[in-house]
Structure 1
């Protein structure tokens, strides 16, 4: 069932199972007709534009690309992609995507999740998806805060800097699931990017 290897060569083999697009595609082909509803200036816009920009380069048929998301601002992502998608329940996107990728090897399955969705309530599902090393691509949007509920710190938050925020800071240490031992051993590739960085 595992299609990726720690060397990363298995990812290319797994993508070869996904049907190729019959005609050349452009960024426009991956934009849906839905109005994008994020706050002005949000970094999610840059991530969306980057994904819509590189999807044509993969050369995969749109009908065989699936975006699965959980809950939160970033989880509106599937609405804005002209592919298949599922806006699922809080923290469960990795579990749903694992089932989909395991049963349909002809699909390129992407998990789109935020730090609150993936690293708190969905932490176990994310760890098990990494441990199983199923052929998933995971986009984790990390702004260190719960944006929809107006400002609670998420698990990978830094220490509170302003005095007014310190009283709300949690008493636990920040956590980053990508640095956990099981995640390090199993994942094929991990990268970081900030939406303010030039590509």
Structure 2
């Protein structure tokens, strides 16, 4: 038992190259099941690997043949990934796929002392389209808000003009009256005549 566990962990970190290749596309948020076949009764260890950041191969899960016990590795858990197998096919169900679930997976089993691998490219669809739709809706909403703001401002200005309709005319009339008063000629005082005696009585 311990030898098989040790062997499965070693197989999970070896440099691999797939003998077969598949591409699986799925919408974001959906469940997907990856699979590979070609096993027989002589398979001792089955496993799923994932290529991370282009160079690092991590072990998702392993299964031993004699008791079909599944072990999850490297932070992968059975809440997200479910490994199962029958006599000829290995399955890996991924629940509610997200963008970081996309990438290259390797399905493998050890037979006659050497690994047999299948490369599976998991692609997540709909993320770019969804982002474009959200961006367009956001832009439309901003334009509607700006339009409503301009409309409200215009209505406020019109209401203020209706409340004070003669404000401009009154100001102009006052200015004209002031000018008239300012430039109106004053009456000349009567000048005192010379050689005339004036007397005042109380």
Structure 2-normalised TM-score? 0.23
Larger Rg: 2
The TM-score normalised by the length of structure 1 is: 0.24
Instruction: Name the structure with the higher strand share.
Output: 2
